[in-house]
Amino acid sequence: MRSLPRLPLDRPLSGARYSAVELSDAGDAVYLLDQRRLPGEVVYLEARSAAEVARAIRDMVVRGAPAIGVAAAYGVALARREGGLDAALDELASARPTAVNLRWAVARVGAVARRGSLEETREEARALHREDVAACRAMGALGAELLPPRARVLTHCNAGALATGGYGTALGVVRAAWASGRLSHVLADETRPYLQGARLTAWELHEDGVPVELLTDGMAGHFFARGEIDAVIVGADRIAASGDVANKIGTYGLAVLARAHEVPFYVAAPWSTVDLATARGAEIVIEERASDEVTVISGVRVAPEGVRARHPGFDVTPARLVTALVTERGVVRAPDAASLSALALTGARPT
Ligand code: MRU
């Protein structure tokens, strides 16, 4: 894939200074900010086929549940031009297993690709992207109201502009709280082993002038015990019908700590992350990643040769530990099967 030093677009749909994913004006290429190279380098890769988009999702050039959904949506638009649509849709939908947004986006844009024109397919993918940004902004406004004044917020992984079509879910709440003067600062877990917190969350908040300090993952308990955390806000890769939440490995431990210290634990996610076809968290497929992402850091082996590491990419936080779920449709306190199916039926949008 060709590398580009900047996004060759005048009006990116993300509305941000940097975009995780965009479609070219001609609709024949997908631009992806190479998140593996942040924070050291800001480089965009140009994917010109659905197979290249699928590879970029597998290799985590682009990551974060809503962002891989948007990337796959644009990948479908490329596939519509190439032919071999069914195989391309399968490859895109199976590029990563846990985030349900990926399959949801491929199904939605794939349905248009099957019956409609190339331009209609592109327009559906762009609409999905715009809706994701709008959902993030709506979640930001709703979530910020949950925070106390001068809030000190802990987050995990990266659920920001880089992980979405733009603005972010958990970091959308942070951005809205900062803009309205409600936020003191963010504590960002580094998020071992892939370091999304250290490399991505710290980068995007620092770029936008939002005060952020980095913690190693094992430090959170110490800061809870000292009363230095007012709220935890994380994103999600999939939310089961029961309200159980799959998110980056380490999230469950934070939810337990938050409950032990009577600190609210909020999950911000667009409705596209809710998977009513999955009854409960135990049914969610958890991605298993390579052992050497744990045993090797920046090319240096930190564990003895011959020792393997476990590396589940995600864990499941039971609904009973979630204080509230923030979606663009509204805030669900103590989410459970009844409240989620009610929201599914009404499809209510925030007033
Ligand atoms: O493995 P990643 O980096 O794709 O994992 C991302 C997360 O776990 C995010 O918290 C989640 O996708 C929500 S992003 C708005």
Choose, from 237, 244, 275, 315, the residue flagged as catalytic: 237
Largest CA distance in the chain: 59
Sheet holding 324-327, edge to edge: 212-215, 183-189, 151-155, 231-234, 265-268, 324-327, 330-333
Helices and strands in the chain: count of H runs, count of E runs:
12, 17
- 63, 271, 294, best to mutate for ligand 1 pocket (most atoms within 8 Å of CB): 63
Express each pLDDT in 244-266 by its tens digit.
Answer: 999 999 999 999 999 999 999 99
The pLDDT tens digits for 135-187 are: 999 999 999 999 999 999 999 999 999 999 999 999 999 999 999 999 999 99
Q: How high is the pLDDT of residue 349?
A: 47
Residue 336 known to be catalytic:
no
User: Do 329 and 343 touch, CB atoms closer than 8 A?
Assistant: yes
For residues 290 and 303, give the distance between their C-alpha atoms in angstroms, rounded to a whole number. 14
- CB under 6 Å to ligand 1: residues? 63-66, 99, 157, 159, 163-164, 169, 196, 235-237, 247-248, 313
Round to the nearest angstrom and report the end-to-end CA distance of the chain.
Answer: 43
* Phi, psi at 126, each rounded to 5°: -65, -40
Strands 231-234, 151-155: pairing is parallel
Work out the average pLDDT over 192-210. 97
